[in-house]
Amino acid sequence: MREVQGPTARAGEERYDAIVVGSGLGGLVSAAYLAADGRRVLVLEQHDVAGGNAHVFRRRRKYEFDVGTHYIGDCGPNGIFPAILSGLGVRDRVTFRPMDNEQGFDRIITPTATLDVPAGWDAYRDRLRAALPEEAEGVDRFVHIARTVSGATRESLVGHHMVELFREQPDTMRWARRSRSLAEALDHCGLSPKARTLVAAQAGNYGTMPDGITFAEHAAMLDHYMRGAYYPEGGGQMLVAAFVEALESYGGELRTRCEVRRILIEQGHATGVALADGTRISAPLVISNADYRRTVLDLCGGEQAFPADLVARTRAATMRGGLVTAYVALDTELPGLPNANIWWHGSDDMEAAYAAMVESWERDGTVDSIPQLLFSFASHKDPGAAAVCPPGHSNFQLMTLCPPGYGFWGVRGGPVDGEPYRRDAAYQARKRHFTELMVTAAEKVIGPFRDRITHLEAATPLSHERYIRGTGGTPYGMARWGNVSQRPDVRTDVEGLYVVGQNIRFGSGLSAVATGGMAAAGQILGRQLLPEVAAGAVLGDPAKLPDRGPDWDPLLVSRGLARRTAKGFARLG
């Protein structure tokens, strides 16, 4: 065991080399790699199960719904996510099922166009040109810039430098700057509202319209899927369980139902955490996978730990959009649909339609239609999986952005602040109304299905805040922390305190937060971890990993060893 210098624990206090607050993929990746390096690591999770936005939940003992795992890009032989798994020796514990990467892994539907998005930049450009024959020049310009900038961004992750590209193509690479928004790039390429909608239709992957995202982040998202779109066999909990197995096999520990009340800081150094029950645990390293605003303002005490200008910027930060998600199960199959997500837009002008919904709410207090809807079909992506649904049934999700703020839901605050929203009559009425609007819109796209519904429930931004503790109930993190999409790095102003998750500069999405987790662990260990594992390095000893028996259950594993046999666990069947 490597000796780590740090504060002396008080009498009776537990002491670890590192504590990770929260068990989203960013925190689990950091924790597992530190454990593989020989550190004594403790992961603390307030929820019943690890995983954050990657976790699943079960209903009626026959349906399992993913909270945030809808597809993952770049999971081929040289992919980023497989490399992260491989570096811990758990690559063969996760199988990635390819979606229809040739015909199209995303189907975009507007009133006048249907675009099936394939893998590969050339094929993508050709599909766009066919859908927009009058705008071929603008399409070519957009795809060239996106391909160049995103390729350089990915190369930088695996250890290559972008200096030469900046020298060779300065006019193109200026779009890699964080100050340049997607909206500016669409303007630069002279694209019409319809073309802008087809190009930016998958905005639900990051939760904002083109003026709220950098061009580089949108391009990176596209490139991620241009390298192929996949779904983890068995759902998102399979990813979580693999990292938990690595963590525990290499000497780390996961405790669920264990809420951190405070990150302890003494003289500018992180010294551990205090739990909700008053217990103090000591460590010279703390990695917060909690929401960034809550980390700075609540867990660390704001100005008590951070410079005043950073605290002010964090207080003023705005969040990306919140989602309403309807989880749907049917007692029938849905034949004729592709193995793809469907991105439906009720208007050829996505930006104007979203603005009109928000304006209607702010002006009249009403929302009478859904401008856009994302369909994710788990039973198509993972056919035959017993956990998804029984044979002959369907399991899918409907997702859409909603107007921002608690007021839309008829409440004054969120669950983190103690607002008892769940039985509030105004909240329930808004939730029922919005769910009905989503189902009505969905039936226009895939045909009638409400008579075959066996399970239907909706989750709002308040639901997300309750389980994930994210500010504003968004899974996408901060919209503005200063300039457009400016975000903090993993290292903070407090010595020994790091941050990971959907709010940091690596962006939102499962691969992005996992990459951020690698960056934090790499800075702590003084190693270029991602380039190392991409080149084949393996940390830890895979021979220590546990066997998986016939009753192995990823949700059970994700509760941690101490609570693996606790009551309240829903099995399928």
Sort strands 18-21 and 41-44 into parallel, antiparallel or unpaired.
Answer: parallel
Q: How far is CA 100 from CA 105, 107, 126, 229, 311, in A?
A: 5, 10, 17, 8, 46
| Spatial distance between the Cα atoms of 107 and 121, rounded to a whole number of angstroms | 16
pLDDT value of position 5: 39
Domains in the chain with CATH codes? 14-56+72-95+233-317+481-562 (3.50.50.60), 100-105+117-227 (no CATH), 323-401+403-459 (no CATH)
pLDDT value of position 67: 95
| Spatial distance between the Cα atoms of 450 and 428, rounded to a whole number of angstroms | 20
State pTM to two decimals: 0.95
pLDDT value of position 195: 98
Q: What is the pLDDT of residues 529-549, one digit of tens each?
A: 999 999 999 999 999 999 999
| Spatial distance between the Cα atoms of 193 and 348, rounded to a whole number of angstroms | 7
Alpha helices in 479-543 (DSSP H): 510-525, 529-534
Dihedral Cα 148, 154, 156, 157, nearest 10 deg: 170
Residue 215: HSE in the Cβ half-sphere, 13 Å Cα cutoff: 26
**In order along the chain (573 residues), what is the average pLDDT of each group of 10 residues?**
43 88 98 98 97 95 95 95 98 97 98 98 98 98 94 78 64 77 96 98 94 93 97 97 98 97 97 97 98 97 95 94 97 95 98 96 92 97 94 98 94 89 93 97 97 98 93 92 82 97 92 96 96 95 95 95 84 74
pLDDT value of position 569: 74
Contact present, 493 and 46 (Cβ < 8 Å)? no
| Spatial distance between the Cα atoms of 295 and 570, rounded to a whole number of angstroms | 32
- CA-nearest of 46, 2, 53 to 325 is 53
| Spatial distance between the Cα atoms of 257 and 47, rounded to a whole number of angstroms | 5
